[in-house]
Structure 1
Amino acid sequence: MRRLLWPAVVLVLLLALNIFFTPSFFSVQVRDGHLYGSLIDILRFGAPLILVSIGMTLVIATGGIDLSVGSVVAISGALACLQISEDAGLPMAVAAALGLCLVLGAWNGFLVAAVGIQPIIATLILMVAGRGLAQLITDGQIITINDPAYKVIGGGYWLTVPFGILVVIAVLGITAFLTRRLALGMLIESVGGNAEASRLAGIRARGIVIMVYASAALCAGVAGLMISSNVSSADGNNAGLWIELDAILAVVIGGTSLAGGRFSLSGTVLGALIIQTLTTTIYSIGVPPETTLLFKALVVTAVCLIQSPSFRAKAFRRRGRSAPTQPSPEERVLAGRGGTA
């Protein structure tokens, strides 16, 4: 719980800051049976980032990294929109998109676990090639569709709540159950902590690594469906652009070490919400568009420094340390005689 303290504090401060610029920031209303408000918008627009961050958390927990999730987001949306534009039907379009994402994620895991390529290089290959594949699927154009059923995934509502939020809750619940209620989470942490020791203990590390990369790609695929559904179009060039960097930041802010080992799903969700709230805050306070990325980088850097125990120990010295005691007259006499009585 202590690891979640500073991310929670930062999130509360960012939310509170918006009150000075938008007095009705915390207002949540029900209009036409739908929930509306700035807080709902943060959750709705942050849903794709939360999904990608959940998958990234499992990958980083094994000591890896996945730079290809942004390209997988673009591929998923592009293939789904292409299938719908060709009257393939919503179930077929979603199944084809997510199936391809699973194959791509498993390929990343195979390159890392079986071939032995470093994760950053293996996923960088798909990051570059995947963006080209997405543009190949869309033929270099923006595919526009008009399917009310597909629109529900990213822009619809169910029981007054945005459907994307419900998808995030379902994915987070399933992931938490598999990793915290079953032994899967312990196996992932053991592989990330010491892959060789886990192998000697009888854990099939290769299978675990392939599985987490496939899971990350699947989460990115669902996020791609959300993003393309929300705008009713697929842009192979810009969809999911740099979302992998935001996901890595969310995982780090949430307290998961890039070295692998122990991970925190709740911390990752907090980190993703911090990034999305920061984006909303930037627009609320009127930061010039040309300085938005710089402002965001400065705030994220400050958050990471505040969260670091070693930085806090150096920057904020504890005042409870006792002052050095002065030697007594007898001790000074003894010291002058060379320490002998």
Structure 2
Amino acid sequence: MVKHHLFWPVTVLAVLLLFNLIYSPDFFSIHLRDGHLYGSLIDILNFGSPLILVAIGMTLVIATKGIDLSVGSVVAITGALTCLTISEGSDQNAAVLVFLAMAISLLLSVVLGLWNGFLVTAIGIQPIIATLILMVAGRGIAQLITNGQIITVTSSNYKYIGAGSLLTLPFSIFIVGAVFAVAALLTRKTALGLFIESVGCKPTASRLAGIRSRTVILAVYMFCGVCAGIAGLILSSNVSSADGNNAGLWYELDAILAVVIGGTSLNGGRFYLTGTLIGALIIQTLTTTIYMIGVPPEITLVVKAFVVLMVCLIQSETFRSRLLHRWKTRNYPAEREVTRHA
């Protein structure tokens, strides 16, 4: 059971939740008010939704032995373009206008993902460099769209995407559930998942077996772009504004951490969507914990990095084996001598 890829992520998440419960006894309390559920657990799911979406897309990219550093910029671009389109409408509450703005933004996110995939497959640029280009340029594009200002919208229809509720739960949770279900069905109930793992693990053998690796890589980068675009819609609609400078900042790093914590290797190959989901929840729970215990803002990132490092070390089978070996040699020197002479 300890060797199961979900054991340590689930254990770490449980420890974090237990710490919060000890620190704040009402941490698990959930209240129903005005037809909506409120509580720390609901907030973790709600505020963690954009990160979960980005991490889902990142999982498939990493499974092909790639990386996408541009997801944070895509989040900013999508939110900025949507808010700009809605703000220029005569009636911001018009459903047609809201759907049109979201459709244009999501289409753009697909194009941006296609651009990344094109640089990787057709041009042959390493994924970390290819996506770094859009990571830098995309943030500038988002600020050009917003003209360096924060665009505010007053559309209640658009606000529903990130701040609305359905069946007493935040609507963003249902969006995440739908995207996760689609990704799981496509990768576990069809041959697509096998193609992705094959391309990431043995690209040459995959090509010789007739798998169109370029098409697979293009598809995962486009899907990652869509996930980042939906995350951008949720983030901007939740606050009814778009900030091209700060929206989605460092999301790419949190998404990569979530994928690694979930058990997916950066070397490509086998991937775990459920593990990524738990990894993203760990990061969001950790963020909530840091704010709750009052860690000074200037050292928040340091504390977060330290905890994530500990989580990764705990997960590492090599680290645990070496630690156990050192403990045995320190506490049982006689056995070590016998083994050496034998």
Q: Same fold (TM over 0.5)?
A: yes
Q: What code does the residue aligned with 2:121 have?
A: A
Match of 2:155 in 1: 147
Q: What code does the residue aligned with 1:234 have?
A: A
Q: Give 1:24's match in structure 2, choosing from 1, 23, 26.
A: 26
CA deviation after TM superposition for structure 1 residue 192, in Å: 0.2
C-alpha distance in structure 2 between counterparts of 1:326 and 1:229, whole Å? 67
Match of 2:200 in 1: 192
1:167 corresponds to 2:169: no
1:58 corresponds to 2:60: yes
CA deviation after TM superposition for structure 1 residue 30, in Å: 1.0
C-alpha distance in structure 2 between counterparts of 1:301 and 1:325, whole Å? 34
Mind listing any 5+ residue stretches in structure 1 that lack a counterpart?
A: 328-341
Q: Give 1:130's match in structure 2, choosing from 131, 134, 138.
A: 138
Match of 2:257 in 1: 249
C-alpha distance in structure 2 between counterparts of 1:121 and 1:325, whole Å? 51
CA deviation after TM superposition for structure 1 residue 114, in Å: 1.1
Give the alignment's TM-score, normalised by structure 1: 0.93
CA deviation after TM superposition for structure 1 residue 304, in Å: 0.1
CA deviation after TM superposition for structure 1 residue 47, in Å: 0.3
C-alpha distance in structure 2 between counterparts of 1:98 and 1:138, whole Å? 17
C-alpha distance in structure 1 between counterparts of 2:235 and 2:277, whole Å? 18
Match of 1:12 in 2: 14
Q: Give 1:217's match in structure 2, choosing from 225, 230, 243.
A: 225
Q: Give 1:3's match in structure 2, choosing from 2, 5, 11.
A: 5
C-alpha distance in structure 2 between counterparts of 1:124 and 1:326, whole Å? 54
In structure 2, the residue corresponding to 1:89 is in which secondary structure?
helix
Write the mapping of 1:114-129 to structure 2, written as runs, cut at 5 A: 114-129=122-137
Rg bigger for which structure? 1
In structure 2, the residue corresponding to 1:64 is in which secondary structure?
coil
Q: Give 1:270's match in structure 2, choosing from 256, 263, 278.
A: 278
CA deviation after TM superposition for structure 1 residue 72, in Å: 0.1
What is the RMSD computed on CA atoms of the aligned residues? 1.7
Q: What code does the residue aligned with 1:27 have?
A: S
Match of 2:119 in 1: 111
Give the alignment's TM-score, normalised by structure 2: 0.93
Q: Give 2:88's match in structure 1, choosing from 66, 79, 86.
A: 86
Q: What code does the residue aligned with 2:193 have?
A: G
Q: What code does the residue aligned with 2:85 have?
A: Q
Q: Percent identity?
A: 66
8 Å Cα contact 1:21/1:284 also seen in 2: no
In structure 2, the residue corresponding to 1:234 is in which secondary structure?
strand
1:49 corresponds to 2:51: yes
In structure 1, the residue corresponding to 2:76 is in which secondary structure?
helix
